[in-house]
Amino acid sequence: MIASPSSAYRRTTRGQAASLGLWLGAFLLGAAACAGPQNKDDEPQPPEDEPALDARARNPNLRDLSVDSTRCDTRGAHPKQLDTNHDGRADVVSLYDRSADGPLRCKQADLNFDGRLDAYFHYDDKGEIVREQFDQDYDGRIDLGSYYEGGALVLDELDLNRDGFVDAWRRYDKGRLTRIETDRDGDGRPDMFAYYLAGRIDRIGYDVSGDGKVDQWDHDAARRARQAEQLRIKDEQEAAPKAEGYVDEPARGEDEDASEEAAGDEEAAASEDEGKGSKKGKGKKGKGKVDDGAKTKPSDAGKSKGRTVAPPSAPSKPATAEPEPEPAKPEPAKPASGAPAPVKPTPVKPG
């Protein structure tokens, strides 16, 4: 039986369609094999604030430290970029309102030059700072927020446990620390209050019942804080290397110099009086000798007058009178060398 042309054409069309379907299936399978597994980084990531929103929905007292976009929104702002380390990336971005000549709205800074912003400074319409936000550990989340009124710091919000929520508050009065409030149980409300006086801790109060009021006071905290500070200073002094070298002599006071000058004057006056006394003694001794009939030579008198007194620094001993020389004994007269010697008489015997 011979097939009709129409049936032959239908069989040919079905065969081509089947082969085309097989070819398309093989192509899609090969493309899938070449693509491999999908990278997790390419998957859409949930926003960072989503866990914070869920936790805040469960506990409305929690306050997150996300970036405030009220003043730091780039939409409708005129940015100015500055590359401080010359690496080709902007490290400081200043946002001005509507134009470059408009008021400054916000400054954003990359403090560790990793390409991610770490600090945000918010300004009011007058150009005064009203808020600051910092990422101190560079993990991409704000952990310190500061508020200003009239240019003075009034409040710090801190995230101590790095969960994204405020758990400590530092309150200031005209820039001076007055109180630190801490949330110890993580319910978003402070339950420990540390009060400061003149920059030092004065007392600590605790909220035990959870009503937001102090139920117990610790007035001995100041003493313990001072002891801890003294121990810390002592440890630092012991750990510090000792400086080697000469120690300068302490400066002499005017009283010491005056006392030394007075002592020197007294010593000089005493030595001068001692010299005058020795002169008087010599004079008295000379007078006594004249009365007794002793003769003094002119040379001795000249010597006594010519003596000088020793200087005050080295007082001299009183001079003693020199012994007078004994008078010379008369010697027998010798005959002249030219006269003849006397002749002795010869005795005559009687006859």
DSSP label at 42? G
312 HSE (CA, 13 A, CB side): 11
User: Mind giving me the DSSP string for 248-303?
Assistant: PPPPPPHHHHHHHHHHHHHHHHHHHHHHHHHHHHHHHHHHHHHHTT----HHHHHH
Instruction: Work out the burial of residue 133: count CB atoms within 10 Å of its CB; fewer than 13 is exposed, 13-18 middle, 19 or more buried.
Output: buried
Q: Kindly state the average pLDDT of the residues 323-341.
A: 56
Residue predicted with more confidence, 147 or 174: 147
Q: Are 183 and 191 in contact (CB under 8 A)?
A: yes
Domain assignment present for residue 324? The answer is: no
Query: What pLDDT score was predicted for residue 223?
Result: 84
Average pLDDT, the chain: 73
Residue with tokens 């094999």: 33
Domain assignment present for residue 206? The answer is: yes
Contact residues for 79 (Cβ-Cβ < 8 A; gap 6+): 93, 94, 95, 96
Residue with tokens 């399978």: 29
Domain assignment present for residue 26? The answer is: no
Domain assignment present for residue 29? The answer is: no
Nearest C-alpha neighbor of 189 from the set 210, 217, 208, 158: 210
pLDDT tens per residue across span 39-79: 333 333 334 455 555 665 667 888 888 898 888 988 888 99
Query: What pLDDT score was predicted for residue 94?
Result: 94
Q: Are 111 and 117 in contact (CB under 8 A)?
A: no
Q: What is the phi/psi pair of residue 107, to 5°?
A: -125, 135
Query: What pLDDT score was predicted for residue 13?
Result: 46
> What Cα–Cα distance (Å) separates residue 117 from each residue in 134, 192, 242?
9, 33, 43
Domain assignment present for residue 197? The answer is: yes
Residues across the chain: 351
pLDDT tens per residue across span 191-200: 999 999 888 8
> What Cα–Cα distance (Å) separates residue 67 from each residue in 10, 114, 259, 336?
69, 18, 73, 145
Nearest C-alpha neighbor of 202 from the set 191, 218, 216: 218
**Quick one: pLDDT band at residue 20, thresholds 50, 70, 90?**
very low
Task: Please state, for a pLDDT cut of 70, what percent of the chain lies above it.
Answer: 53
pLDDT tens per residue across span 106-119: 999 999 999 999 99
Q: Is residue 147 scored above 90 in pLDDT?
A: yes
Element (H, E) at 173: strand 168-173
**Quick one: pLDDT band at residue 338, thresholds 50, 70, 90?**
low
Q: Is residue 292 scored above 70 in pLDDT?
A: no
Question: Can you read off the two tokens belonging to residue 71?
Answer: 């003043």
Report the domain count for the chain.
1
Instruction: Compute the CA torsion angle 254, 256, 262, 268 (nearest 10 deg).
Output: -120
Q: Is residue 4 scored above 60 in pLDDT?
A: no
Question: Can you read off the two tokens belonging to residue 225?
Answer: 């804080």
Q: Which domain holds residue 232?
A: 143-237
Tell me the pTM. Answer: 0.52
Contact residues for 231 (Cβ-Cβ < 8 A; gap 6+): none
Domain assignment present for residue 231? The answer is: yes
Domain assignment present for residue 11? The answer is: no
Query: What pLDDT score was predicted for residue 100?
Result: 72
Domain assignment present for residue 232? The answer is: yes
The alpha-helical segments, DSSP class H, found in the chain are 5-35, 50-58, 221-239, 254-291, 298-306
Question: Can you read off the two tokens belonging to residue 113?
Answer: 């030059």
pLDDT tens per residue across span 211-258: 889 999 988 877 888 888 889 999 999 988 876 655 556 555 555 556
**Quick one: pLDDT band at residue 291, thresholds 50, 70, 90?**
very low
Nearest C-alpha neighbor of 221 from the set 233, 232, 205: 205
Sheet containing 92-97: which strands, arranged edge to edge? 77-82, 92-97, 104-109, 119-123, 129-134, 144-149, 152-158, 168-173, 176-182, 192-197, 200-206, 216-218
Residue with tokens 């003043």: 71
